[in-house]
Amino acid sequence: MATLTKDVEDARMGVENLSAKHSMALPLQRTGGGDGLGSTANLNTPMSLFMSGGLHSQDEGASLLKEDDSLLRHTFFSILRHHHPHIAAQVDQIYALSQTAATTGSAGDFKNLETCLAELKPDQRVLVASAFSQMLNLHNLSEEISNAQIEKASRIGEIEASTRSTNKSFKKLIADKLATPESIYETLCNQTVDLVLTAHPTQALRQSLLKKYSSVRHDLDELHNSRMSAYEKAECLESIRAQIQSAWRTDEIRRSKPSPQDEMRQGLSYFHETIFEGLPRFLRRIDTALKNIGQPSLPLDHCLFKFGSWMGGDRDGNPYVTPSTTRDVVITARLAATNLYFKAVEKLMYELSVWRCSDEARALASSIVARQTPDAAMISEERKRKNYAEFWHVLAVSEPYRVILSEVRDKLYHTREVLHHCMVHPHVNVKEYLENDTEAYTTKEEFLQPLTLIYKSLIDSGDQYIAKSRILDVIRQVTTFGMGLVTLDVRQESSKHAAAIDAITTFLGLGSYLEWDEKKRQEFLVAELNSKRPLMPAGLKLTGEVADVINTFKIIAELPSDSMGAYVISMARSASDVLAVVLLQREMGVTNYMRVAPLFETLDDLDNSTDTMKALLGCDWYLQHINGVQEVMVGYSDSGKDAGRIAAAWGLYEVQESLVKVAKEFNVKLTLFHGRGGTVGRGGGPTHLAILSQPPNTINGSIRVTVQGEVLEQQFGEEEAAFRTLDLYTSAVLEASLAPTKAPKPEWREVMVEMSKVSCEAYREVVRKDPRFIEYFQSATPVNELGRLNIGSRPAKRKAAGSIDDLRAIPWIFAWTQTRLHLPVWLGIGGAFKKLADAGKLSLLQEMYKEWPFMQVTLDMVEMVFAKADPRVSLLYEEHLCRPELHQFGNTVRTAFDECKRELLAVESHKALLSDPHTQMLQAKLRLRTPYITPLNILQVHCLKQLRTLEATGEAPDEYKNYVPEDKEVRALLGRDKSVKDDLFRASLQDCLIITMKGISAGMQNTG
């Protein structure tokens, strides 16, 4: 491994020296050991892996991670010292204490850390919390860069990756004689992965900060991968410093909730930054991999990936998603697509200066020139007014491709104008307005026609290399993203549709639909669907939720059908739930029906889903309606909250097998839509392994998966990550289709049934039956304070009730993640393992873990969560926030935690958590994160205690009545909280609490 050359070190030291002129040199005092942030021994840590020519081992990856973490930490610390020298000294001391407590595991060292933090004044808490939150976010950047470097090294063969790329999947499938090159090509040509961006509020960071961190990540990547002079290195490091300072000087707290439109715009930003340009680059790599096995490129018209969205369409329990919201986000997405295509076509016009072309292309160019020539002067002025970059004049037919693209550009500009008109005129029927304007693009087929003609002309003229460059990329972008960029799913709860149908039947004197049994409901719905007369009465007055449901379907009818995806029915329990949505679409004028996907969420609903789908597909009218294609969504979040992780995982496994059998019985192609969250408690996990652990023959070339919150940033926040994400999905789905895992042995199934039953009973015994649980949960976690984060538009609860059932899965997981107990992930598993081991089945459990991907992935994820957990921290929450009467309950829970960890390690045959060599990088990451996270936990506990006391009594402690911070910047920051008026003590508690929530989320790399 080459070391850093002297000019790199000189450049970096030059930046340090430049900064020193503007900061105070402090003699930093520390107690308790540890390196500290400001240690002069560490300030000049050499960046020995920068521009080293790549990584050659996982050890080097871990070293790179540590050095990047050190660089960013010290850069931040110098900025903190410049702005707040006294706070910098405190942060340095706290970090040293936290390092010591993390290293030794000593209760005394942990107590020293707690004592130090307890002595902080309210304004100091805010700044200290913010400092540790910022450092955690910067540390995450170092992890992302390390991951990207390891990925690059893996792709060029310098190190062996733990998961396969598509190219490696090709080689393995052929080498193991599981597939031929021809079958691989055929499978890819029929394979589609649909990634659905959701509005689930699990991204705790503000978009403003994400942008700044993205710039830091880019500069850090440049330092690793670019050849730079000493001056360029210094400038790059200055850029990093500038962005870190800008992040520090930005209010990290969202002061108001985002609207669904805001969420959609944030989601679309990933298309602008990585997805739109990254997809064609990835498809080029697939073409190259196919060429290496003697196969042609992917067909022009094949979509290997599709992209959907729930942002602005998911109205389940979210009153802020209205029909007008859905209309707005569809127009917004189409505008984003049009703008991206406009820029792409302008680039093509510069590149395609070729004069040779096919007769068909020349004829089209000649006809365009003939139409434009009489109005040449006017067209030229108009194009100048539109601020086109170049090519204002009517072009000569001697540049045929530019002529054709000039008309495409004009139509794209006009399409954008039409969409702007629709946006500002809310009563315009968007679909009709687009279709009636011949100068605007309505469908991707219209747009693709001239592009495909150019592509074929270049091929026919012998310019195949030009054809397979930028024009191919644009064709693939249009094929994949269409005119809508993403398709919008609509989601609503089944009872809302039933209430709408009931309003109609009651008004017509047909009786109450809600009072009918399932047989009568189905008979009524099928009869109406077969009938040609309308059902919707003209005089029906709509109010409340019924009006919202009906108006949603009316808006769907007015939107372009290529912008609409699936209509997802949450809490679906019967065939009539699906038929009702189809009928409402017809009654409200939807001509191209949205496909309807029932969502089965709770364990009971999953168990009954097979019977539901049999009844639905057994309906002749519906079977003919779907034309052999059905989508079913399975929910990981609510099933886990309902029954615990193991019972939910096995329930989902079994139901997928059963649903595939039902679909096969009716000769229907089934696509399973996986509603996975980011956390293990909500079904999260590594993409490649998660797909390969699915039941055999349940994917068959097509899969839909939700991408939520912080996962969206992790998978698409950076170019290398986006490429890796696309690669993992492609290779995993390909392998799952061509070489599915073997079905579990009968004895394994018997064990899973028993383990599922025992773990579910143990889980529910605590969560549902123990009368102490609700109070403990609400006291020992910040669940009731999560709404202050303003990270999403929807409420945390579906209903204003106090039960676990009404609480959404995200805050349920979020709250336990904050306390680092992670109870929903492991509760019930330990007792199930122990019972099976006592019955002499430990060796069978070990066999299952060793040989069965489903068991491996499930238990590895639980082990990872145990490695993140810290019972000392959860005990601190309990001691400060719970009544003494609840402490025994907490002891019982922690005893179950220890038992589960012990039994888990026995089943895995591991000596300790993360003791396998393949978890080396994860160990390094967790070691670096922990000293940042624990101070935030302790600060959160003290803030919660004081805030709850303040809200209960209405009075601040005597020493903080009429509290005014000495630091004017802190006064100004706290004054931004308009909810507390002039109560700066309350504002300090609220701000500190919110910052700790965000920081812990960053450290755990999960919210909900």
Which DSSP state fits 839?
Answer: T
334: Cα within 13 Å, side-chain hemisphere: 34
Measure the CA–CA gap between 913 and 862, rounded to whole angstroms: 10
The strand pair at 669-675 and 487-493 is best described as unpaired
Measure the CA–CA gap between 344 and 704, rounded to whole angstroms: 28
Q: How many residues does the chain have?
A: 1008
The strand pair at 487-493 and 305-309 is best described as parallel
Q: Are 295 and 185 in contact (CB under 8 A)?
A: yes
Q: Are 488 and 564 in contact (CB under 8 A)?
A: yes
Measure the CA–CA gap between 492 and 486, rounded to whole angstroms: 19
What's at 92, amino acid-wise? Answer: D
Q: Are 56 and 2 in contact (CB under 8 A)?
A: no
Which residue in this structure is represented by tokens 């491709």? 401
Measure the CA–CA gap between 205 and 736, rounded to whole angstroms: 35
Q: Which of 200, 224, 444, 901 is catalytic?
A: 200
- Burial class for 558, CB neighbours closer than 10 Å (0-12, 13-18, 19+): buried
Alpha-carbon torsion angle 450, 452, 457, 462, nearest 10 = 150
Measure the CA–CA gap between 887 and 870, rounded to whole angstroms: 17
Q: Are 622 and 582 in contact (CB under 8 A)?
A: yes
Q: What share of the chain is helix, strand, coil (3-state, %, to 5)?
A: 65, 5, 30
Q: Which of 74, 411, 641, 822 is catalytic?
A: 641
Which among 757, 754, 752 is positioned nearest to 849, based on CA atoms?
752
Measure the CA–CA gap between 732 and 930, rounded to whole angstroms: 32
Give the dihedral sign, CA 380/383/388/391: negative
Alpha-carbon torsion angle 437, 442, 445, 446, nearest 10 = 30
**CA 586 → CA 516, 590, 593, distances in Å?**
22, 5, 8
Helix H, strand E, coil C: the string for 193-255 is EEEEECCCCCCCCCHHHHHHHHHHHHHHHHHHHCCCCHHHHHHHHHHHHHHHHHHHCCCCCCC
Measure the CA–CA gap between 32 and 759, rounded to whole angstroms: 42
Q: Which residues pair with 680 in a beta bridge?
A: none
Structure token pair of residue 788: 């202050």
- Burial class for 291, CB neighbours closer than 10 Å (0-12, 13-18, 19+): exposed
Is 200 one of the annotated active-site residues of the chain?
Answer: yes
Measure the CA–CA gap between 521 and 608, rounded to whole angstroms: 18
For the chain, the C-alpha Rg in angstroms (whole number) is 30
Which DSSP state fits 788?
Answer: G
Alpha-carbon torsion angle 98, 103, 109, 113, nearest 10 = 10
Which residue in this structure is represented by tokens 């830091």? 216
Q: Which residues pair with 309 in a beta bridge?
A: 197, 488
Q: Are 941 and 877 in contact (CB under 8 A)?
A: yes
Q: Which stretches does DSSP call E strand in 210-303?
A: none
Is 111 one of the annotated active-site residues of the chain?
Answer: no
Structure token pair of residue 949: 């006391």
DSSP characters over 857-910: HHHHHHHHHHHH--HHHHHHHHHHHS-GGGHHHHHHHHHHHHHHHHHHHHHHT-
Measure the CA–CA gap between 817 and 684, rounded to whole angstroms: 14
Which among 362, 351, 350 is positioned nearest to 460, based on CA atoms?
362
Q: Active-site residues: which are they?
A: 200, 641
